[in-house]
Structure 1
């Protein structure tokens, strides 16, 4: 049985990197007594896969991992067992069954977008004039820029990778392309915007929270990875 687990990561845990989080969950699964499945061969490992690594320094209210299980338990009990092993800053939000053979069975493969909330720690920096400049920047029909890749530099149009955006109470909301094909980070959008104004800001000047992650439905709409599963009775 495949189970998709949604969890949050906040507080001091935002400084823990992806590989350390993987090791942390491996230990938590063993301590919880959940019947997680292992790979075959000389060096068996737990069958866990994460939808997308979260950058160090970012918090999240919508992280996902898929696990394979032998005998299962109901969603509520599984969350309770895992939360009993969690440290402060990590909370299991839901555990939902995914049909193994469906096209929705691999969170990493189907991931298409993610929601982010961004705000500047210094509210005076993102003042009324800066907000108006950001609205003008995002309102362009094209936002050409250059992004560094492992193979060099590549010209991209940010406009094609930003699906939604808004500003409310000084917070910037963005739904961005996310996944193995197109992956746009919110800090890159902010960096590109500030460069257009001749300004700079370090990542430490921002608070960024990932709110949710989505797959793309057949009609082109976005559906959260959580909603692709069902509660285990």
Structure 2
């Protein structure tokens, strides 16, 4: 049976890198007594894959990985067992069955993600930034210089911004994510601060990921569904 696990990574755990998170869950799954499937061969390893892992320093309540289990277990029981062995800052949110097949893998499905960006106290832009968000998004193109190991190139990131608005004191972003189209909230904020005529400093704001989506629509119309909702409850 293939299952999808949703978990939160908050507090000090935001400083733990992806590989360490993966190793942590491998140990936690063993301690929780979940009968996970292993690959065959000389070096067996747990059959699990993470969807769009976050960079260091970003909190999230919507991290996902898929894995295969040999013995069925109810979703509630699995969540309970896993949370009993979680450290502070880590919490399993759901444990759901997903269909077989590579096309249903979380890694392949990722198409968009929600983020909240909040300026640290005393580090807000000097300009009236709250009333400039609509003007920023209204632009037909938003050009940034994207640096790679070999060169630099100018990229229009406007098509990757699905939504950007003010929610109380935070900026809400719905951005393209995944292997086909992808952008990071840091790049959007860099472009926004440049639009305001402000110097970019990644320390002046915090980023929180709130959800990750698959797109079940067409080329003309997006139909975003959370990776969690693509799974079904295990009784």
With normalisation by structure 1, the TM-score equals: 0.94
User: Residue 216 of structure 2 contacts residue 225 of structure 2 at CA under 8 Å; is this kept in 1?
Assistant: yes
2:210 is aligned to 211
Structure 2 residue runs of 5 or longer lacking an equivalent are: none
Once residues 102 and 24 of structure 2 are traced to their aligned partners in structure 1, the CA distance between those partners, rounded to angstroms, is 29
2:230 is aligned to 228
Displacement of 1:135:
2.7
| 1:43-122 paired onto structure 2 within 5 Å | 43-101=43-101, 103=103, 105-122=104-121
Once residues 145 and 88 of structure 2 are traced to their aligned partners in structure 1, the CA distance between those partners, rounded to angstroms, is 39
Mean Cα deviation higher: 125-134 or 179-188: 125-134
Displacement of 1:150:
4.3
Counterpart of 1:200 in 2: which secondary structure? coil
User: Residue 17 of structure 1 contacts residue 56 of structure 1 at CA under 8 Å; is this kept in 2?
Assistant: yes
Displacement of 1:11:
0.7
**Ranges of 4+ aligned residues in structure 1 off by more than 6 Å:** none
Structure 1 residue runs of 5 or longer lacking an equivalent are: none
User: Residue 3 of structure 1 contacts residue 98 of structure 1 at CA under 8 Å; is this kept in 2?
Assistant: yes
Q: What is the count of residue pairs matched by the alignment? A: 232
User: Residue 113 of structure 1 contacts residue 215 of structure 1 at CA under 8 Å; is this kept in 2?
Assistant: yes
User: Residue 48 of structure 1 contacts residue 65 of structure 1 at CA under 8 Å; is this kept in 2?
Assistant: yes
User: Residue 123 of structure 1 contacts residue 170 of structure 1 at CA under 8 Å; is this kept in 2?
Assistant: no
2:16 is aligned to 16
Displacement of 1:138:
1.6
- The reply on whether 1:131 has 2:130 as its aligned counterpart is yes
Structure 1 pair 222/127, CA: closer, same or farther in 2 (3 Å)? farther
Once residues 146 and 135 of structure 1 are traced to their aligned partners in structure 2, the CA distance between those partners, rounded to angstroms, is 22
1:30 is aligned to 30
